[in-house]
């Protein structure tokens, strides 16, 4: 089987590795063009490009797949199948029609829930107790194609955007490997159409969302802190100082204080009044500083220890 892989971020790297099976010829790896990164804003290759070059695979980096030239270039590889994982570019109908077996996509949710750009974080924000990965046959619509295989995982009370990302990346590699092995064995994978009910959209994350609104319930804010770790990282004011909040826990506790009031501060954390309940911040970051514990923060702001109990 001749296969073309298309992906860009770290999430796609395990899937690329999973495609390197006996009986599969990786004809080319498509990834987005190098982008400025770091403080020096120097052009940097994507994680998928780095992995492909390390494996000695041909790399293609078109700005778009909409041009006749880009589509003709893809056709020269004569792929039987194209596997797409977090590529970040739209695949026009003409591209979807190039591979003999079509295009497969690994999506980090249990479709049709959380179609779109940020399914991992949206699942945590919504309080979902389960998510997973879906292997889908691509259509022209946004994540609308029939599902070939899926794998599930629970969302634990301490899962962050980062921990769930890493676990789903592994599951994505497993589902790709299973799909390829079964196809190579001559099996036609059953394509199950997505139900019309239960469709939700995982809109792209915006840094403005990371600003915590303490009029909201503490349980929602705890989920936001977990979802936005490691990016864009939740932010909130503690007694007048805006900080990044890396870890926090919701407490089911009644109070009559204004939202955002410091209710107490100890080595266990800094407790902030919310619209419902209390948010105990346990790890945070001052402007220009590094991530520290609440205990270390209180060493720099000892006046908070005398806050309202």
DSSP string for residues in 122-190: HHHHTT-SEEEEEEEE--SSTT-SPEEEEEEEE--TT--HHHHHHHHHHHHHHHHHHHHHHHHTT----
Q: Give the number of domains in the chain.
A: 2
- pLDDT level of residue 308 (50, 70, 90 thresholds): low
| Cβ(146)–Cβ(137) below 8 Å | yes
Q: Using a cut of 0.75, tell me whether the model's pTM lies above it.
A: yes
Whether 307 has a pLDDT exceeding 70, the answer reads no
Same domain, yes or no, for 116 and 258? no
Same domain, yes or no, for 49 and 143? yes
Same domain, yes or no, for 34 and 96? yes
Q: What's the token pair of residue 140? A: 């022209």
Residue labelled with tokens 């049709």 = 112
Q: What is the pLDDT of residues 43-76, one digit of tens each?
A: 999 999 999 999 999 999 999 999 999 999 999 9
Residue numbers in the known binding site are 109-112
Same domain, yes or no, for 32 and 18? yes
Could you say which of 162, 182, 202 is where a domain stops?
A: 202
Same domain, yes or no, for 122 and 18? yes
Q: What percent of the chain has pLDDT over 70?
A: 99
Same domain, yes or no, for 165 and 302? no
Q: What is the pLDDT of residues 91-147, one digit of tens each?
A: 999 999 999 999 999 999 999 999 999 999 999 999 999 999 999 999 988 999 999
Mean predicted lDDT score pLDDT of the chain: 96
Phi, psi for 51 (deg, rounded to 5)? -65, -40
| pLDDT reported for residue 40 | 84
236: domain CATH number is 3.10.25.10
d(CA 31, CA 24): 19
Sign of CA dihedral 239, 243, 249, 250: positive
Same domain, yes or no, for 114 and 217? no
The neighbouring-strand residues paired with 292 are: 284
Q: What is the pLDDT of residues 194-251, one digit of tens each?
A: 999 999 999 999 999 999 999 999 999 999 999 999 999 999 999 999 999 999 999 9
Q: What is the pLDDT of residues 80-101, one digit of tens each?
A: 999 999 999 989 999 999 999 9
Same domain, yes or no, for 20 and 44? yes
155: domain CATH number is 3.40.50.170
Same domain, yes or no, for 277 and 137? no
Same domain, yes or no, for 91 and 234? no
| pLDDT reported for residue 90 | 87
d(CA 188, CA 201): 29
Whether 37 has a pLDDT exceeding 90, the answer reads no
pLDDT average, residue stretch 281-289: 97
| Cβ(221)–Cβ(279) below 8 Å | yes
Phi, psi for 154 (deg, rounded to 5)? -75, 150
**Looking only at Cα atoms, what is the longest distance across the chain?**
71
Could you say which of 184, 202, 220 is where a domain stops?
A: 202
Same domain, yes or no, for 95 and 192? yes
d(CA 38, CA 36): 7
| pLDDT reported for residue 39 | 80
Same domain, yes or no, for 214 and 196? no
Could you say which of 152, 186, 202 is where a domain stops?
A: 202
Residue numbers in the known binding site for (6S)-5,6,7,8-tetrahydrofolate are 109-112
DSSP string, 237-279: EETTEEEEEEEEEEE-----SPTT-EEEEETTEEEEE-SBSEE
- pLDDT level of residue 305 (50, 70, 90 thresholds): confident
Range of the domain at 212: 207-306
- pLDDT level of residue 38 (50, 70, 90 thresholds): confident
Q: Burial, 266: exposed, middle or buried (Cβ in 10 Å; 0-12, 13-18, 19+)?
A: middle
């Amino acid at each position: 089987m001749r296969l073309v892989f298309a992906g860009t971020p770290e999430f796609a790297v395990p899937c690329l590795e999973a495609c390197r099976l006996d009986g599969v010829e990786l004809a080319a790896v498509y990834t987005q063009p190098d982008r400025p990164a770091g403080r020096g804003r120097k052009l940097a290759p994507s994680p998928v490009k780095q992995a492909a070059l390390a494996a000695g695979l041909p790399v293609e980096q078109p700005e778009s797949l909409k041009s006749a030239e880009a589509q003709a270039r893809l056709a020269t590889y004569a792929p039987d199948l194209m596997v797409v994982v977090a590529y970040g570019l739209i695949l026009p109908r003409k591209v979807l029609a190039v591979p003999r077996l079509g295009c497969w996509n690994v999506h980090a949710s249990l479709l049709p829930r959380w179609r779109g750009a940020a399914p991992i974080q949206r699942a945590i924000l919504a309080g979902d107790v389960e998510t997973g990965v879906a292997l889908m046959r691509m259509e022209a619509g946004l994540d609308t194609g029939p599902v070939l295989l899926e794998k599930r995982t629970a969302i634990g009370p301490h899962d962050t955007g980062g921990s769930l990302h890493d676990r789903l990346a592994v599951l994505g590699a497993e589902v790709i490997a299973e799909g390829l092995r079964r196809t190579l064995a001559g099996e036609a994978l059953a394509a199950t159409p997505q139900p019309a009910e239960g469709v939700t959209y995982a809109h792209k994350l915006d840094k403005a969302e990371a600003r915590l609104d303490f009029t909201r319930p503490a349980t929602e804010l705890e989920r936001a802190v977990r979802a936005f770790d490691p990016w864009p990282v939740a932010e909130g004011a503690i007694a007048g100082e805006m900080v990044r909040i890396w870890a926090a826990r919701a407490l089911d506790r009644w109070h009559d204080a204004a939202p955002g009031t410091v209710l107490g501060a100890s080595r266990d954390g800094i407790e902030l009044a919310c619209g419902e309940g209390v948010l105990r911040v346990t790890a945070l970051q001052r402007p220009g500083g590094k991530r520290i514990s609440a205990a270390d923060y209180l060493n720099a702001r000892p006046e908070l220890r005398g806050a309202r109990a």
